[in-house]
Structure 1
Amino acid sequence: IGYYTGAYPVERIWRDVKLCEIGEGTSEIQRLVIARDLLKSIKKT
C-alpha cells in the first residue's frame, strides 16, 4: 500500500476490508456449490 496509509489507521481498515472481501467470496462460492448440488438432486428425482 504505500507510506501514507502505513502511517494512518486507514491502513488497518484497508486490510480489514480486503479480508472481508476474501471471506465474502468464499461464502458466495459455497452458496453456489450448495445450490448447484441441490438442483442436481432435484433433477434426479
Structure 2
Amino acid sequence: MHLTSNYVIKKNEARPLTREASMAKLFASETAVRAAVNGVQIHGGYGFTKEYPVERFFRDVKLYTIGEGTSEVQRRVIAKRLEL
C-alpha cells in the first residue's frame, strides 16, 4: 500500500519514479515466487503434476523475476536511486 501511495504522490508532482517502479516489481515478483513455492509444498508431489494448476503457476511465476529486469537488476536500480 505504501508503495502505491508514494507512487501516486510522486506521479502527481511529476517526479522520477524509477525507484518506486523497481521496488514494486521486486516486491510483487518475489512475493509471487514465494506463494508458488508454498503452493507446491502444500500439494507435495502433486504440485509438480500437470493435473494441478499450481504446477503451471510455479513454472510461469519464475518469469516474473526475469522479465523487465531480474530481481538482482531491480535491487541495483533501487540501491543506485537510494545512493547506496
TM-score by length of 2: 0.36
Where does the alignment leave 5 or more consecutive residues of structure 2 unmatched?
1-6, 47-84
2-structure distance, mates of 1:12, 1:35: 35
| Identity among equivalent pairs (%) | 3
TM-score by length of 1: 0.62
Which of the pair has more CA radius of gyration?
A: 1
Equivalent of 1:25, from 1, 17, 31? 31
CA-atom RMSD in angstroms = 2.2
The one-letter amino acid of 1:19's match is: K
- Greater helix fraction, Structure 1 or Structure 2: 1
How many pairs does the alignment contain?
A: 36
Where does the alignment leave 5 or more consecutive residues of structure 1 unmatched?
41-45
**Relative contact order higher in (CA < 8 Å, ≥ 6 apart):** 2
